[in-house]
Amino acid sequence: MDILVIGGGGREHAICYALNKSPKVNKIYCLPGNAGISEIAECVDISVMDFDAIRSFVKSNKNIDMVMVAPDDPLAGGLVDLLEADGVRVFGPNKNAAIIEGSKSFSKYLMKKYSIPTADYEEFTEYEKAVDYVKNAKYPLVVKADGLALGKGVVIANDFDEAKAALSDMMIDMKFKAAGSKVIVEEFLVGKEVSILAFTDGKTIIPMVSSQDHKRAYDNDEGLNTGGMGTFSPSKVYTKEIEKEVTEKIILPTVNAMNSEGRTFKGVIYFGLMLTSDGVKVLEYNARFGDPETQVVLPRLRTDIVDIFNAVIDGKLDTLNIEWDDNACVCVILASGGYPESYEKGLPISIGELDEDVMLFHAGTKSDGNGGYVTSGGRVLGVTCTGKDIEDARAKAYKNIENIQFKNMHYRKDIGIKLK
């Protein structure tokens, strides 16, 4: 099979890496891809939101047997619908289902209507009314842009001034453009965060192994929210008892709710969860593989990912027994200094000798034209290692980081330490 992957970050590199291990795959295309992905796939310089160019490329390359759409924007924009209308086999939810991530207002409505546990909330389209509400609110609280904001449209406000500033950024200054024209203000949940990805064909849903993300920019969960500074799998706090609770009260009800709403979901759903003293609650849904959760989940997948993609597309997920390695995986993100705010690009990356089993997933890199790489994004590389347990995998990752350098390189030193 020849497969086209839409996207160009660390998640897409991990997906291409998994596809490259399949004996069923003949060739991988990645659009736009990046310098690291180009080592295992043919990268095509087309934007993920240039739907006309993507359709033309697929039509002119009739050897492409499947398209896998990974990022949130093209999913929410309806790329899956357009390609399916062209007769293409596509892995990913259609626009009607991708709204579960594309609109936080919709996802909160869904959870409220179908009694799926989540934080209490209010939504606002007028800045003045939102400010009036937060004047007398209990702190800390969470301010969220309704639409897609690259994982950065969430602010934890510790007092009124911080809440007002966040509302002004989103609704007045339009920091996240149209995504911030409506905001959600919700209660701040206390507990341990866990990320669960699940395959579903709309009828059957199969959760993947658990993982834990580190959203804040700096050690000890300090600094601004980012797209994710590192992950590990499995989560030590996600016990069998909690897994049962999540399956019965969150995962199955969510898929059933989407069906009841006439929005059958086929693809991968990401459940961002908080384990609170009042039980497990949903922080957010994503309509796709999470980033960087994918980088620690897929390396543990034993079953051929092509078989899973086909089963989801064909509605035959119930025929598969998906198997995982009994190990652990840690990914540490190397970011540009200044991320998630302003940062310099085009900086040379020095990569020394790495251990043979290190997976170096490229997130924001470009070729320097001489066989090397330069930085091209906020999150640059994901140093990923497996081991017999979290501690073993973590030690391998940090040992290999010592052999990678670029100007102002920043990474958290505590990925995988807070296991409980």
DSSP state of 37: G
- CA-to-CA distance for 284 and 272, rounded, in angstroms? 5
Interatomic CA distance for residues 373 and 396, integer angstroms: 23
**420 residues of the chain, pLDDT tens digit each:** 999 999 999 999 999 999 999 999 999 999 999 999 999 999 999 999 999 999 999 999 999 999 999 999 999 999 999 999 999 999 999 999 999 999 999 999 999 999 999 999 999 999 999 999 999 999 999 999 998 887 678 899 999 999 999 999 999 999 999 988 999 999 999 999 999 999 999 999 999 999 999 999 999 999 988 989 999 999 989 999 999 999 999 999 999 999 999 999 999 999 999 999 999 999 999 999 999 999 999 999 999 999 999 999 999 999 999 999 999 999 999 999 999 999 999 999 999 999 999 999 999 999 999 999 999 999 999 999 999 999 999 999 999 999 999 999 999 999 998 655
**Cα-Cα-Cα-Cα dihedral sign, residues 4, 10, 16, 18:** negative
User: Rounded to two decimals, what is the model's pTM?
Assistant: 0.93
For the stretch 173-178, contacts whose Cβ atoms lie closer than 8 Å and that sit 24 or more positions apart, written own/partner, are 176/145, 176/147, 176/149, 176/152, 178/147
- CATH code: domain 120-187 is 3.30.1490.20
How many other β-carbons are positioned within 10 Å of the β-carbon of residue 210?
24
Question: For the chain, what is the radius of gyration of the CA atoms?
Answer: 21
Beta strands in 287-376 (DSSP E): 328-335, 348-351, 359-362, 365-367, 373-375
Q: Where are the domains of the chain?
A: 2-94, 120-187, 192-319, 328-405
Architecture of domain 192-319: 2-Layer Sandwich (3.30)
Q: Is the dihedral of CA 22, 48, 344, 379 positive or negative?
A: negative
387 is written with which tokens? Answer: 């081991």
- 3 state DSSP class of 318: helix
Q: Which architecture characterizes domain 2-94 according to CATH?
A: 3-Layer(aba) Sandwich (3.40)
Name the helix (H) or strand (E) containing 56: helix 51-60
Give the per-residue pLDDT at 418: 67
CATH number of the domain at 328-405, please? 3.90.600.10
What is the pLDDT, as a whole number, of residue 419? 59
What is the spatial order of strands in the sheet that 205-207 belongs to?
205-207, 192-200, 267-276, 279-286
Two tokens, residue 276? 């609170």
